[in-house]
Amino acid sequence: MDELLDYVKNKQHDESRQGEALNIELEATEFKNDKYFYIESYGCQMNFSDSEIVASILANQGYSLTADIFKSDLILLNTCAVRDKAEQTVRKRLQSINELKEQKPGMMIGMLGCMAERLKSKLLEEEKLVDIVVGPDAYRSLPELIAEAEGGQKAVNVLLSREETYADISPVRLDKNGVTAFISIMRGCDNMCSFCVVPFTRGRERSRDPESIVAEVKDLFKRGYKEVTLLGQNVDSYAWRGEGKNDDKEAEVLVNFAQLLEKVALVNPELRVRFSTSHPKDITDDVLYAIAKYENICKYIHLPVQSGSSSCLKRMNRTYDRDWYINRVDAIKRIIPDCGLSSDMIAGFCGETEAEHQDTLSMMDYVRYDYSYMFYYSERPGTLAARKYPDDVEESVKKRRLQEIIDKQNQLSVENNRKDIGKIYKVLIEKTSKKSTEDFSGRNSQNKMIVFPRGNAKIGDYVNVLVESITQGTLIGKIV
Ligand code: SAM
Ligand code: SF4
Ligand code: F3S
């Protein structure tokens, strides 16, 4: 496995948490094995992290990873269902992969992830686009499913679990840099935001044993990694109650998120700790104090607001209102004065009025996010909103409002970045810059990307960088 790891390179890992197509293209030097698999991931970081679990399960079955789709015996798409556009992207991809299959009849196509969970056997039985369908909690059954499909049977497992965390599976790291890694600390989501399909595709929330998380972090650090990102749909509700006690909400919480953060931060001061995503209703002052206390816990919080309007937040079933959110932002600015902040916003949710939209824009002005992921509302079948509220904001209005949100964010990003000119930041070098091989890029604690000439530094080093100029998305500077 370690041997495999050394050869695996993730060519194109988009940093965005929820790009419509987070496409992991892999470059791998293949081994002399009989079977090859190829995997692409779409959606959020959780999916990316799951692909690493899947790679591990298949490597143990003697499958080798390949970047060459033509060479592969098994093509896997790890899919996202969060918006209709995400599903359309996968459908188009499946159609072109099926054309490929006509030239290589023995090849199998598997669909993993949230779209597999949502559509279950539909793509297999009705549309015959795939051979294998596996939901996010059923990856351990992949070897049996592959065998069933090889035997000509329908291979589907979309059972959701109340316990599965894959805690004992050591992921094959697909990220090429060997410096930063994702670690899933929990799975599922118990919130019921009315617009969101995730509780249906990922099942009930469950937290992973903190000992297994810390062991994974120690192992990564030993192997040269310098940054871990703890992942969950709602990390602030992380609650370890003991083995098999996820469902027993009466049981005492032995480790909460603030305590887990401390445990991970203490692994080594040279290891940076990030986390995503925080839910405004759950983020406690204890978490903020833990961030403030440890230099190696990054001063950056992704705190999706979704809407700045209390009435819209109520329809969204976010369980906080505008005042609550502002209170949390004020607490962040008080306890961690240099904290970077980002958000998710949905334009044109059911019944959204012009005044509610203006509330979102004014919230952005209040918080002054460094950046945001911005979407217009896409109705998802089966969700609370789809059942309860008509999707009644016209598409042209949704798009206009989204554009106003994007324009506002662009303006804020530039203004915030300008304030960084002249400042010196500690940067962890992650990779060679996309634009020039003479430059490196990395992030500061606040999660801003900084590009600078390489000097004598190397990937994985911490360097101090003086910011000299900016663009909307990047700081530009030199090592000092
Ligand atoms: N758990 C995270 C939270 O609560 O902030 C978010 C996870 S969700 C996978 C990522 C983002 O997708 C959400 O924050 C939301 O902005 C967006 N999203 C979810 N459902 C959507 C929908 N039906 N239409 C448009 N955007 C949606
Ligand atoms: Fe979806 Fe809400 Fe759960 Fe986030 S917290 S995954 S938006 S239901
Ligand atoms: Fe992530 Fe998309 Fe599923 S955002 S949790 S892969 S629906």
Ligand nearest the Cα atom of residue 303 = 1
Has residue 173 been placed in a domain?
Answer: no
Going by pLDDT thresholds of 50, 70 and 90, the confidence category of residue 124 is: confident
Ligand 2 centroid distance, CA of 37 (Å):
31
* Nearest partner of 108 among 116, 118, 100, 117, judged by Cα: 100
> Do 194 and 333 sit in the same domain of this protein?
yes
> Do 460 and 414 sit in the same domain of this protein?
no
Atom of ligand 3 nearest to the CA of 115: 7
The per-residue pLDDT for range 58-67, each reduced to its tens digit, is 999 999 999 9
- The CATH number for 102's domain is 3.40.50.12160
Tokens of 198: 């995730």
> Do 202 and 287 sit in the same domain of this protein?
yes
Has residue 362 been placed in a domain?
Answer: yes
> Do 346 and 457 sit in the same domain of this protein?
no
Going by C-beta distance under 8 Å and a sequence separation of 6 or more, which residues neighbour residue 468? 421, 476, 477, 478
Whether omega before 432 lies within 30 degrees of 0, making that bond cis, reads no
30 close to 4: Cβ distance less than 8 angstroms: no
- The CATH number for 434's domain is 2.40.50.140
> Do 207 and 152 sit in the same domain of this protein?
no
* Single residue among 401, 418, 435 that ends a domain in this structure: 418
The reported pTM is 0.93
Ligand 3 centroid distance, CA of 79 (Å):
7
Decide whether any atom of ligand 1 lies within 6 Å of the 329 Cβ. Answer: no
Alpha carbon distances (Å) from 451 to 204, 387, 471: 41, 47, 11
> Do 117 and 188 sit in the same domain of this protein?
no
Ligand nearest the Cα atom of residue 193 = 2
- The CATH number for 213's domain is 3.80.30.20
Decide whether any atom of ligand 2 lies within 6 Å of the 233 Cβ. Answer: yes
Decide whether any atom of ligand 2 lies within 6 Å of the 279 Cβ. Answer: yes
Instruction: State how far the Cα of 29 lies from the Cα of 13, in Å rounded to an integer.
Output: 18
Query: Which residue's CA is minimally distant from atom 14 of ligand 1?
Result: 344
| Alpha carbon of residue 305 to chain centroid | 17
Q: Is the pLDDT of residue 20 over 50?
A: no
> Do 196 and 120 sit in the same domain of this protein?
no
Average pLDDT over residues 354-371: 98
Per the structure, the complete domain to which residue 447 belongs is given by: 424-479
Instruction: State how far the Cα of 469 lies from the Cα of 415, in Å rounded to an integer.
Output: 12
> Do 40 and 146 sit in the same domain of this protein?
yes
Ligand nearest the Cα atom of residue 199 = 2
> Do 362 and 299 sit in the same domain of this protein?
yes
Angle between helices 285-293 and 257-265 (to 10 degrees): 10
* Single residue among 391, 418, 445 that ends a domain in this structure: 418
Decide whether any atom of ligand 1 lies within 6 Å of the 306 Cβ. Answer: yes
Has residue 8 been placed in a domain?
Answer: no
Query: Which residue's CA is minimally distant from atom 2 of ligand 2?
Result: 193
Strands laid side by side in the 108-112 sheet = 63-65, 35-41, 74-79, 108-112, 132-134, 155-157
Ligand 2 centroid distance, CA of 186 (Å):
13
Decide whether any atom of ligand 3 lies within 6 Å of the 44 Cβ. Answer: yes
51 or 21, greater pLDDT: 51
Q: What's the number of domains the chain is made of?
A: 3
* Single residue among 90, 125, 157 that ends a domain in this structure: 157
Ligand 1 centroid distance, CA of 424 (Å):
34
> Do 88 and 192 sit in the same domain of this protein?
no
The per-residue pLDDT for range 223-256, each reduced to its tens digit, is 999 999 999 999 999 999 999 888 888 899 999 9
> Do 133 and 227 sit in the same domain of this protein?
no
Q: Which stretch of DSSP H or E encloses residue 239? A: strand 239-240
Decide whether any atom of ligand 1 lies within 6 Å of the 343 Cβ. Answer: no
The per-residue pLDDT for range 271-307, each reduced to its tens digit, is 999 999 999 999 999 999 999 999 999 999 999 999 9
Ligand 1 centroid distance, CA of 158 (Å):
22
Decide whether any atom of ligand 3 lies within 6 Å of the 18 Cβ. Answer: yes
Ligand nearest the Cα atom of residue 45 = 3
Instruction: State how far the Cα of 149 lies from the Cα of 144, in Å rounded to an integer.
Output: 9
